[in-house]
Structure 1
Amino acid sequence: IGMSQIVLLRALHWSSSIATALRRTTSVHRLHQYQNHYSYSTLSTSSNEILVRENNTIDTVDVRAPSFPESVKEGSIRLLKKVGDKVSADETIAEIETDKTALNMNAPQAGTIEIFLVADGDNVTTNAHIAKLNTSNDVKPISENKKALSIEKIDAEKVKHTLDESIDKVNIEQTKEKSSTSFISSKPSHILTSVTGSKLDTSAPQNLTTSTKQQVSEARSETRVKMSKMRIRIAERLKQAQNTCAMLTTFNEIDMSNIVEFRKKYADQFFKRHKIKLGFMSAFIKASACALVDNPIVNAIIDENEIVYRHYIDISVAVASSKGLVVPVLRNVEKMNYADIERAINEFGEKAKNNSLAIEDMDGGTFTISNGGVFGSLFGTPIINPPQSAILGMHGIFDRPVTSNGKIEIRPMMYVALTYDHRILDGRDAVLFLRKIKQYVEDSRTIFLDI
């Protein structure tokens, strides 16, 4: 056997020892990391052929986490694929859950996942290395590519009998057997005889009846589930609002008769023109934007000892998703018409269903609207979305008896609630603001007349 072959066998034996130790102390994905670092450790025997990695022909692509905005520090990753899986371009390989939303990580191009640099459940930061995607077949038999190493094909059985005396004589079979059984006694009876104590009764209790077994199986139980990162963040922000804001809620009710008739009359024409349905939400968003223009203090926030007036109106719309409550933001609503608003709402709704909302979609916001009416809510007090100063809560539309011109009539009515930060808003400001929303919703013509 030649010197170059001896050196190769030493490397093979050394790398095999490392691999054995790593299997005892590390997880599978960590083992892949070490094997990737020591490129020759991919050497193995298959049909008495040695497989080698061609480092000069590997074509890999780094898969990185997306850039997070300043408001997001990290996210928890959930791996959807395994090392060795083949993926197509834009196929989702992992999901990063932040405190705002869940982000899908897609493969930049087709290939095979060579290694994951993070474990399932790890926290990852912006632009972190997640995985390496191999776009070529990087492992080949040496017989197929003789340029990989300039050595002859080695017969494993022949090498075992002709190993030079200068090499430490290691019986491969004994080493393999020892490594797999070193922690297991071949004679478990020796262990049992060395233990003192009374005889273990392995027989089942004779008085355990069928009914008793059934009672045990039907016993009350509990299940603990780890809170998601988004759920934890929602809880933190709700508690932050309670601990920071001096929250107070004022209520009113809105006669929905006009807006219901308005919707019935123009729904078909609106759909033909804009290819989108006309809902009630756009009326409340537009009414809120106009009311915020009339009452700029509601659009302001407290920053330490200063009041910051925002000369733009970005309305956060609370949307329920499978991951929890999300609040995408409609930007510059004061410049939007009904069609623009409905289109944006539908787009955010689809993204929420598909868990494809971007973090940028939920950054900011100067005022929030929450519509519990879609779930049948009659009444409720919403909690402020910090650092905003107010939130409008919409509820269900129900027929109720009301008086009009001295007569009792049955009309579609909605209760609305405005929760506000009493540190910045006086009660008068809050009541007038909510009354303005009521006016604009009940008679949208006042919006166009600017009265």
Structure 2
Amino acid sequence: MLSSIRRRVANGASSSPILGPLFYRASTPRDYSTARNEIILLARGCGTGQNFGHCILLGHSVNLRPTREFRVSFQSEPSMSMLSRPFSSDSGDLVDAVVPFMGESISDGTLATFLKKPGDFVQVDEPIAQVETDKVTIDVASPEAGVIQKFVANEGDTVEPGTKIAVISKSSEGIAHVAPSEETSKKAAPPAPPEEKTEEKSKPVPEAAPVSAKPKAPSPPPPKQSATEPQLPPKERERRVPMTRLRKRVATRLKDSQNTFALLTTFNEVDMTNLMKLRSEYKDAFAEKHGVKLGLMSGFVMAAVSGLQNQPIINAVIDGDDIIYRDYIDISIAVGTPKGLVVPVIRNADKMNFADIETEINTLAKKANDGSISIDEMAGGTFTISNGGVYGSLLSTPIINPPQSAILGMHSIISRPMVVGGEIVPRPMMYIALTYDHRLIDGREAVFFLRRIKDVVEDPRRLLLDI
């Protein structure tokens, strides 16, 4: 079938030729009318006529100014189908794996590691890589089941939401593309060892020369130089490892805390006898009813809630020239993980009992250790409790977790001699520390708060009587 297509040439620029047999000639302005009732219209981007989008109306005269007339002659229909087949197949077989949305406060992350290799088969939503952010580690999942054809990003790259990191082939053709490259790389690897062997063989030759030179120059100056110059360890014994984004974030926040807050710490000691006795007597019944073990942390959380209710300024925060008082209590619990320090939050702790607090602490601790904790579970918090006693710390000065105004530090329980009723008896004692922002909190409120913690822990019955 023969058709005539015209296109106006803008600014005298010539159009690029199209695929297939093409005959064209320049023509002067003239009238053109269709002699047939049929004409093929080629839309923009379709098949071989992708650069032409002008339509020719049937039965009308067209007067064109300097134009170039193209006459396109198509061969038989089978040749047309062969041209369009690769275009449609390429668009439906390959899919891209992209970085997901990482949170409102997170704009980018670091591509930490790939969990798969090119050529591996993956299922839908199966993690193929991990992106490390300032707060959590996020998995990049496969959008379709198929074979990983290639990676388009490298470990250590900074990526944003929507960044493509891998190409996945939904058909088995991806294996054919990857396997040969792996085989060639494996075949290309063996030549390297012989070069190393040749180098190793060449090394003993110069070593033999120094051996013969040693007896010629046995001079005492070298020991004198070694005695005056410091002996530094060789560089081979040092390792340089880049900081993770989580560690960078922790370092920045802690340094900002020191630079911003007027930090001051007050201490006290707590007799743990009654709380430990309460735990030992009711831990079995507690676990049987609530399905969770009774720990000491829930007692301190309840004591902190009571102290914050008695001293609301501890639960407040400075915002510019204003003080914001919070009428809710969200307790942050500092948890140390292999990747760094995270601080999950117990929401509305003032409305919880011992069982609710223990259940929430166990749930958040498990998520923090296996890396599945979300950003929302760590956002906010009005007061923080840090338990360094689980690592054996006897005494420390914790640093405030911005933008909060205070943090409570717990320490290890040590049996020490104490005077009780005029007698010296051994008691399980714990040092507690409160670091606070002295710009907002005075020493009076800080000491009263810490004293309230001591009273409630030493006599948990106060919680029942609200005294």
Q: How high is the TM-score relative to the length of structure 2?
A: 0.67
Which whole-Å deviations, capped at 9, do the CAs of 1:4-34 have from their partners, x for residues lacking one?
A: xxx99xxxxxxxxxxxxxxxxxxxxxxxxxx
CA contact (8 A) 1:373 1:395 kept: yes
Q: Percent identity?
A: 50
Instruction: Output the CA distance in 1 between the equivalents of 2:90 and 2:266.
Output: 71
Q: 1:74 to 1:204 in 2, by over 3 A?
A: same
Counterpart residue number, 1:189? none
Question: Is 1:325–2:341 an aligned residue pair?
Answer: yes
Structure 1 CA distance for aligned equivalents of residues 247 and 374 of structure 2: 17
2:414 matches 1:398? yes
Aligned to 2:315: 299
Shift of residue 138 of structure 1? 4.9
2:121 and 2:148 in contact (8 A); partners too: yes
Cα distance in 2 between the residues matched to 1:208 and 1:249: 65
* Paired residues for 1:39-438 under 5 Å: 55=89, 58-78=92-112, 79-138=114-173, 203-207=206-210, 219=234, 221-438=237-454
Judge conservation of contact 2:97–2:166 (CA < 8 Å) in 1. yes
Give 1:118 shift.
2.8
Amino acid at match of 2:105: S
Cα deviation, residue 134, structure 1: 3.0
- CA 1:130/1:401 → structure 2, altered by over 3 Å: closer, same or farther? same
Following TM superposition, by how much is the alpha carbon of 1:91 offset from its aligned partner in structure 2, in angstroms?
2.9
Distance across 1 between alignment mates of 2:461 and 2:143: 51
When Rg is computed on C-alpha atoms for both structures, the one with the higher figure is 2
Kindly state the Cα deviation for residue 427 of structure 1 after the two structures are TM-superposed: 0.6
Distance in 1, Cα, partners of 2:175 & 2:234? 57
RMSD (Å) for aligned C-alpha atoms: 2.7
The CA distance in 1 between the partners of 2:278 and 2:431, in whole Å, is 20
Residues 1:136 and 1:239: Cα distance change in structure 2 (over 3 Å): same
Q: Is the 8 Å Cα contact of residues 53 and 139 (structure 1) preserved in structure 2?
A: no
Given that 2:117 and 2:148 are in contact with CA atoms closer than 8 Å, whether structure 1 keeps it comes out as yes
Evaluate the alpha carbon distance shift between residue 409 and residue 269 of structure 1 in structure 2; reply closer, same or farther with a 3 A threshold. Answer: same
Separation of aligned partners in 1, 2:264 and 2:339 = 29
Partner of 1:441: 457
Which SS does the other structure have where 1:73 is aligned?
coil
- Letter matched to residue 286 of structure 2: F
Cα distance in 2 for residues equivalent to 1:417 and 1:140: 60
Query: 8 Å contact 2:110–2:156 — kept in the other structure?
Result: yes
1:93/1:105 contact within 8 Å kept: yes
Amino acid in structure 1 at the alignment position of 2:402: P
Partner Cα distance (2:99, 2:356) in 1:
32
1:138-170 residue CA offsets vs partner (Å, 9 max, x unmatched): 5699xxxxxxxxxxxxxxxxxxxxxxxxxxxxx
The DSSP-based 3-state class of the residue aligned with 1:359 is coil
Tell which deviates more after alignment, 53-62 or 281-290.
53-62
Instruction: Report the secondary structure of 2:441's partner residue.
Output: coil
Give the Cα–Cα distance (whole angstroms) in 1 for the partners of residues 267 and 106 of structure 2.
34
2:172 match: secondary structure:
coil
Give the structure 2 partner of residue 159 of structure 1: none
The 1-side partners of 2:343 and 2:313 are apart by: 22
Matched residue of 1:364: which SS?
Answer: coil
**Deviation string, structure 1 residues 175-220 (Cα, Å, up to 9, x no partner):** xxxxxxxxxxxxxxxxxxxxxxxxx9962254459xxxxxx9x956
| Structure 1 stretch displaced more, 117-126 or 433-442 | 117-126
Number of aligned pairs? 338
1:45-89 superposed Cα distances (whole Å, 9 cap, x missing partner): xxxxxxx78626734554333323333232111222233321134
> Within 1, Cα distance between the matches of 2:153 and 2:253?
28
Task: Specify whether residues 129 and 336 from structure 1 end up closer, same or farther in structure 2 by C-alpha distance, changes over 3 A only.
Answer: farther
Residues 1:450 and 2:453 aligned together: no
Report the secondary structure of 2:258's partner residue: helix
Distance of 1:84 and 1:222 partners within structure 2? 36
Distance in 1 between the 2:96 and 2:105 partners? 25
CA–CA distance in structure 2, aligned partners of residues 308 and 127 of structure 1 = 37
Gaps of at least 5 residues in structure 2 are: 1-18, 21-85, 177-202, 213-230
How far is the alpha carbon of 1:294 from its aligned partner?
Answer: 1.7
CA gap of 1:376–1:94, structure 2 versus 1, over 3 A, is same
List alignment gaps of at least 5 residues for structure 1: 1-6, 9-51, 142-199, 210-215
Structure 1 residues 327 and 123 mapped into 2: Cα distance closer, same or farther (>3 Å)?
A: same
Counterparts of 2:359 and 2:98 in 1: how far apart (Å)?
32
1:265-305, Cα deviation, whole Å (9 max, x unpaired): 00000110111111111111121122112211111111111
Contact 1:89 1:106 in 2 (8 A): yes
